């Protein structure tokens, strides 16, 4: 899957002082299908599942794992990059929880296929874990860590951990999908502004629970997704309007992160420029080998 490949390339290329393995005790992942490692398998009503072949065909055991790809996804490679085990899906831990100290101190994944910044984004998939709910789960893990380690040690642990946030594509796709009534209710600019402000509130909530180091991904050229191309007569051209507002969202996201860094002096972040690399894939696919496809 192109988006996964893209995110892996960018993340593994991050040069940040907090991306050294010895300084990263845990990775906590929030997001959508690009980083879901199996949470949706535990959602009975969800239509966004990857629990069937050929998902997982290149994963250990060659079985589907709930990842929306053939093998490991970007969250898995990210964990390996900093020398940590893969962060397990939160819902698998909750379903098996028989007492306290159930959450591993090396990280947890809250990501859910179909999720968006807005609670209503997942309606077409019937059920997923929206970002606000993922943060509620994060607060539960925070409380569990305080019980395990004590307040001071837990906060020190979290301050050194990485929090990857990969979300927003489904919100843009939802606005521009065929038959969407959102354009009748809110302008593109208002929608993008609301996305950014909602995400800012989420990041501040996470900061309240000890998060200090963030890896935040912008969104790619979502207008070039098959669902968007299929809306065109030729089924070949990208939806340039969707791409335009993807760029506008990313610009607002970067500005928001810079401002939030000034507001929260102990916050650090790396921004993943998904759009630029994705555009390079589209313009020069042969540069990246014979197996790159859309």
pLDDT value of residue 234? 64
pLDDT value of residue 126? 73
pLDDT, averaged across the chain: 87
pLDDT value of residue 157? 97
Q: How confident is the model at residue 35 (pLDDT cuts 50, 70, 90)?
A: very high
Residue ranges covered by each domain of the chain: 2-288
For residue 19, is pLDDT > 60?
Answer: no
Q: How confident is the model at residue 290 (pLDDT cuts 50, 70, 90)?
A: low
Can you give the pTM of this predicted structure?
0.88
Which range, of 113-127, 128-142, 201-215, averages the lowest pLDDT? Answer: 113-127
For residue 82, is pLDDT > 70?
Answer: yes
pLDDT value of residue 61? 86
Q: How many CA atoms lie within 13 A of 112 on its CB side?
A: 30
For residue 210, is pLDDT > 90?
Answer: yes
Q: Mean pLDDT over residues 101-106, rounded? A: 83
pLDDT value of residue 9? 47
Q: How confident is the model at residue 12 (pLDDT cuts 50, 70, 90)?
A: very low
Q: How confident is the model at residue 86 (pLDDT cuts 50, 70, 90)?
A: very high
Which range, of 97-101, 118-122, 176-180, 215-219, averages the lowest pLDDT? Answer: 97-101
For residue 14, is pLDDT > 70?
Answer: no
For residue 15, is pLDDT > 50?
Answer: no
pLDDT tens, position by position, 178-207: 889 999 999 999 999 999 999 999 999 999
pLDDT value of residue 286? 76
Q: CATH says 2-288 is which class?
A: alpha beta
* Range from 13-17, 21-25, 37-41, 221-225 that averages highest in pLDDT: 37-41
Q: Mean pLDDT over residues 263-274, rounded? A: 95
Residue with the larger pLDDT of the pair 14 and 132: 132
pLDDT value of residue 229? 76
Residue with the larger pLDDT of the pair 54 and 37: 37
pLDDT value of residue 287? 77
């Amino acid at each position: 899957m192109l988006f996964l490949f893209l995110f892996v390339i960018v993340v593994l290329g991050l040069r940040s002082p907090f991306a050294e393995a010895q300084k990263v005790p845990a990775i906590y992942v929030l997001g959508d299908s690009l980083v879901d490692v199996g949470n949706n398998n535990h959602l009975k009503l969800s239509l966004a599942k990857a629990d069937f072949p050929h998902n997982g065909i290149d994963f250990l055991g060659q079985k589907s794992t709930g990842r929306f790809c053939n093998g490991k996804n970007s969250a898995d490679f990210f964990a390996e990059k900093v020398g940590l085990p893969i962060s397990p899906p939160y819902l698998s831990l909750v379903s098996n929880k028989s007492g306290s100290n159930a959450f591993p101190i090396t990280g947890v994944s809250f990501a859910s296929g179909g999720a968006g910044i807005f609670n209503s984004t997942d309606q077409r998939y019937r059920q997923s874990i929206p970002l606000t709910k993922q943060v509620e789960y994060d607060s539960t893990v925070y409380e569990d860590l305080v019980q395990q380690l004590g307040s001071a040690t837990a906060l020190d642990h979290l301050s050194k951990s990485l929090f990857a946030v990969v979300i927003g594509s489904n919100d843009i796709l939802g606005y521009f999908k065929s038959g969407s009534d959102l354009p009748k209710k809110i302008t593109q600019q208002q929608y993008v502004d609301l996305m950014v402000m909602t995400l800012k509130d989420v990041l501040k909530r996470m900061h309240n629970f000890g998060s200090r180091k963030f890896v935040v991904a912008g969104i790619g050229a979502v207008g070039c997704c098959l669902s968007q191309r299929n809306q065109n007569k030729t089924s070949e051209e990208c939806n340039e309007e969707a791409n335009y507002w993807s760029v506008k969202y990313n610009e607002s996201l970067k500005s928001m992160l810079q401002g939030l860094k000034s507001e929260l002096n102990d916050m650090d972040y790396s921004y993943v420029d998904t759009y630029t690399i994705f555009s390079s894939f589209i313009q020069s696919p042969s540069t990246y080998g014979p197996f790159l496809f859309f």
